[in-house]
Amino acid sequence: MLAAARRPFLLFPVPLRLFSVASTTADPTVSYLISTCDLSPAAAARAAPSVRLASPGFTSNADAVLELFRRYGFTGTEITDTVRKFPIVLASHPDKTLQPKLDFLASVGVTTPLFGRLVSLNPVILHRSIEAHFVPLFDFLREVLGSDSNIVTALRQMPPSEVSKLIALQPGVILQCPDRVNEIVQFVENAGVKPSNAMFVHMFAILSKMKAPTLENKFAVFRSFGFDKDDVNVMMRRCPASMAVSVEKLKKIVGFLIGKAELSREDIVRHPNMLVRSLDSHCRRCAVLAVLRREGKPVAKHRVPAALQASKVRFEEMYILRHHQEVPDVSRAIRGEIPFEGF
């Protein structure tokens, strides 16, 4: 009885996770995603519930989808990214659902290698309606950018010297619904920037990345420090990137500039680029200025905004290299070894 009840002794117990991995890779869907789409085992396991390929019919459909992507110039990496982000695409009808969207993009001038980059950015676009989404959106973009060729130029992310920067700055704009696009346009125009203004595309790109509640929270931060709507509009026009700063960072930066750095609201409105710099950079540079003021150096009388906005090379040239031998503390201050306690 004792011999019968005795359990076998395992010299090296097998971890349970190995059984889990083995069972996962045995799943035909997971195996397909790993071997054919180059997904990692973990990514394949997450994607598998969205598209079960247990039957040959599903596998054939997935093969047809992948072949369609290759025909439109998708790279292997772009295919992997597309499947990982939107695995249900493998169960989509390649001719009825997917190809019409790709054909529409081709009709406005999108070609290889742009297809793969745009789709892999957010593959859900392949399930958007042509009539309800693509057509009205591109009609609007034509009004803003002037022509299909300008839209494609923007999609190709040409250098900043090009006229059409909108989608180059934010390719995800093609995922926006037409109503949201119109809402953003109205907001930018109300800020005093018309589509003909070169700054329009920059502001549109920044605002298209955030939801309306997020934007309102940023306005609330400015109001809490005494800025009015006109102040914020001026800052947006001068430095659209200032609105891309997170709410928490905005609170800290504005609080520091008005509090410890003793700047006025007018200083910030005139120099909104200060909002996009890091708080640590501001603290170190102010510490350098405080050291120079303590030593009575004339350069310390320069306006604080000019010092905070200067490039790293310019700041070091003006405030560090010229004084580090006579005032060695400037080197310690810029390294963060001397905290800034105020002027």
DSSP result, 124-169:
GGGGS-IIIIIHHHHHHHHHHHSSHHHHHHHHTT--TTSS--HHHH
* DSSP-assigned states of every residue in 261-315: S---HHHHHH-GGGGGS-HHHHHHHHHHHHHHHHTT-GGGGS-HHHHHHS-HHHH
**Mean pLDDT computed over every residue of the chain:** 80
In this predicted structure, the answer to whether residue 160 has a pLDDT above a threshold of 70 is no
Residue 146 has pLDDT above 90, yes or no: no
On the question of pLDDT at 268 being above 90, the answer is yes
Residue 16 has pLDDT above 70, yes or no: no
pLDDT, residue 193, reads: 83
pLDDT of amino acid 81: 93
Q: How confident is the model at residue 145 (pLDDT cuts 50, 70, 90)?
A: low
Top-confidence residue, 146 or 330: 330
Q: How confident is the model at residue 10 (pLDDT cuts 50, 70, 90)?
A: very low
Higher pLDDT, 200 or 221: 221
Report pLDDT for 219. 92
- CA–CA distances in Å: residue 14 to residues 11, 26, 258, 293: 9, 18, 62, 68
Average pLDDT (74-89) is 93
* pLDDT tens by residue, 204-215: 777 877 888 898
What pLDDT sits at residue 74?
Answer: 93
Q: For residue 12, what pLDDT is reported?
A: 38
Pick the residue with more confidence: 162 or 199? 199
> Smallest Cα–Cα separation from 58: which of 80, 87, 101?
87
Any residues with CB less than 8 A from the CB of 334 and at least 6 apart, and which?
A: 284, 285, 287, 288, 316, 320
| Of 5-19, 119-133, 143-157, 225-239, highest mean pLDDT | 225-239
Most confident of 92-106, 167-181, 189-203: 92-106
Half-sphere exposure of 163 (CA within 13 A, CB side): 11
Per cent of the chain over pLDDT 90 is: 43
What is the average pLDDT across 156-184? 52
Instruction: Give the lowest-confidence range in 64-78, 195-209, 278-292.
Output: 195-209
Residue 124 pLDDT: 84
Given a cut of 60, is residue 78 above it in pLDDT? yes
**Which residue has better confidence, 107 or 52?**
107
Whether residue 167 has pLDDT greater than 80:
no
Determine the average pLDDT of the residues in 315-337: 92
13 vs 149: CA distance, rounded Å: 64
Q: Which residue has the higher pLDDT, 61 or 203?
A: 61
Listed range (23-32, 247-256, 267-276, 331-340) with the worst mean pLDDT: 23-32
CB-based contact 309:274 (threshold 8 Å): yes
- What pLDDT is stored for residue 107 in this prediction? 81
